[in-house]
Amino acid sequence: MTARLELILGAVFAAVLIAIGLSLGDKAVIDVLMRLSIFSLLALSLNILVGYTGLVSFGHAMFFGFGAYVFGLLMQTNAISIPAAAAVTLLATCVWGAVSGALCIRLTEIYFSFLTLAFQMLLYSVIAGWVSLTGGDQGLMGGIPRPPFLGIDLAQPRQLFVLTVIVSVLSALAIRQIVQSPFGYALRMIRDNAERARFLGVPVQRYKLQAFVLSGIFGSLAGILMSLYVSGAYPNFAFWTLSGDAIIMIVLGGITVFLGPVLGAVLFQFLNDYINRITEHHGMVMGVVLLVIVLGLRKGVLDVLDEWRQSRKPRPEAAP
């Protein structure tokens, strides 16, 4: 697909989502669509690392929480507009991503996973422990002010909804551009054979770090949208279970297809709600579902569909 076609498809998709949300006008529908947008963005950003670079980050909620808290704290100063605060937050995410990432990418395989997890828990303990700044367990107190900018008033749920959908879709397009670029293909090469990539002159460590930071920026953006949506920030945004949820999302949907994480985020939300409705043993059911996917299917839904589609073609395509 050409970039222009993707842009048009993205615009159509965003328009349809917005039209559904606004025409139904139901608060519950808008809430669900906002959540799905935010978690899709989180899952897509994580998949830059897991699916494309082969780095299984188990600490991705670190960026989600980081974005939500930094943005929330900046807005609470009442001295800064929403776009400026978002820009400063993303810049801070770059710095934090570069520092933590520089250490994390020194390890490979499961040690990378654990180190990202450990960094996430460091951030979590700072958030939970620094009560005077963050409000500790209670979350950021007093809500996040949402002053109007450029004629947009995010205190209006409908306007916030439209903005969330547009930002998520634009981010998805940006991530698509990244993974389809030569840089994105270099990441796939690192995933498949880091040694060969290095031999061919790819600066492996630098590319890994760049992928880490990029993934963090979009994860942080999802956190910013979340903090706007709930008008607050809570420690569980940076808790490890959210990282686990994000991984389950991308595994549910499939990591080898670009839109797999989006489907996964949608499936996960419905599965989660469904499990919560039928039983109080949420962990056991989710654990069993996870085991069936990992040991039974061994891949996500879109992975299966994609393989089926490719098996019907005479010639296999290059890996996405």
Partner 1 sequence: MNFDALIDCFSASACVVTQISSGLIIGMLIFMVASGVTLIFGVLGVVNFAHGALYMLGAYFALTAYWVTDSFTVAVLAGAIGTGLFGVVFERLFISRVYGADVLSQLLVCYAFVLILDDAVKAIWGGDFLSMGMPEAFALPPLMIAGGFVPPFYAFLTAFAVASAIALAALLGLTRFGKIVRAAAVNRQMVGVLGINTSLVYALIFGLGAALAGAAGALAAPVRSATPGMGFDILIESFIVTVIGGMGSIAGAFVGAILIGMIRAFGTVGFPLATEGVTFAMMAVVLLVKPAGLFGKAGR
Which residues contact partner 1 by CB under 8 A? Answer: 50, 56, 58, 103, 106-107, 109-111, 113-115, 117-119, 121-122, 125-126, 129-130, 240, 244, 247-248, 251, 255, 281-284, 286-288, 290-291, 293-295, 298
CB 242 within 8 Å of CB 236:
yes
- Closer residue to partner 1 (CB): 125 or 156: 125
Q: How far is the CB of 288 from partner 1 (least distance, A)?
A: 7
Q: How far is the CB of 306 from partner 1 (least distance, A)?
A: 17
Distance from C-alpha of 176 to C-alpha of 155, rounded to nearest angstrom? 30
- Closer residue to partner 1 (CB): 82 or 251: 251
- Residues 6 or more apart in contact with residue 129 via CB below 8 angstroms: 136
CB 217 within 8 Å of CB 93:
yes
Q: How far is the CB of 282 from partner 1 (least distance, A)?
A: 7
CB 208 within 8 Å of CB 103:
no
- Closer residue to partner 1 (CB): 59 or 67: 59
- Closer residue to partner 1 (CB): 105 or 167: 105
Q: How far is the CB of 240 from partner 1 (least distance, A)?
A: 7
Map the chain to HEC letters: CCHHHHHHHHHHHHHHHHHHHHHHCCHHHHHHHHHHHHHHHHHHHHHHHHHHHCCCCCCCHHHHHHHHHHHHHHHHCCCCCHHHHHHHHHHHHHHHHHHHHHHHCCCCHHHHHHHHHHHHHHHHHHHHHCHHHHCHHHCCCCCCCCCCECCECCCCHHHHHHHHHHHHHHHHHHHHHHHHCHHHHHHHHHHHCHHHHHHCCCCHHHHHHHHHHHHHHHHHHHHHHHHHHHCCCCHHHHCHHHHHHHHHHHHHHCCCCCCHHHHHHHHHHHHHHHHHHHCCCHHHHHHHHHHHHHHHHCCCHHHHHHHHHHHCCCCCCCCC
- Closer residue to partner 1 (CB): 26 or 109: 109
Token pair in block for residue 193: 């054979």
Q: How far is the CB of 60 from partner 1 (least distance, A)?
A: 13
Q: How far is the CB of 129 from partner 1 (least distance, A)?
A: 6
- Closer residue to partner 1 (CB): 86 or 257: 257
- Closer residue to partner 1 (CB): 281 or 309: 281
Comparing CA positions, the residue from 187, 250, 210, 241 lying closest to residue 97 is 210
- Closer residue to partner 1 (CB): 59 or 184: 59
Q: How far is the CB of 47 from partner 1 (least distance, A)?
A: 11
Q: How far is the CB of 197 from partner 1 (least distance, A)?
A: 18
Q: How far is the CB of 290 from partner 1 (least distance, A)?
A: 4
- Closer residue to partner 1 (CB): 7 or 293: 293
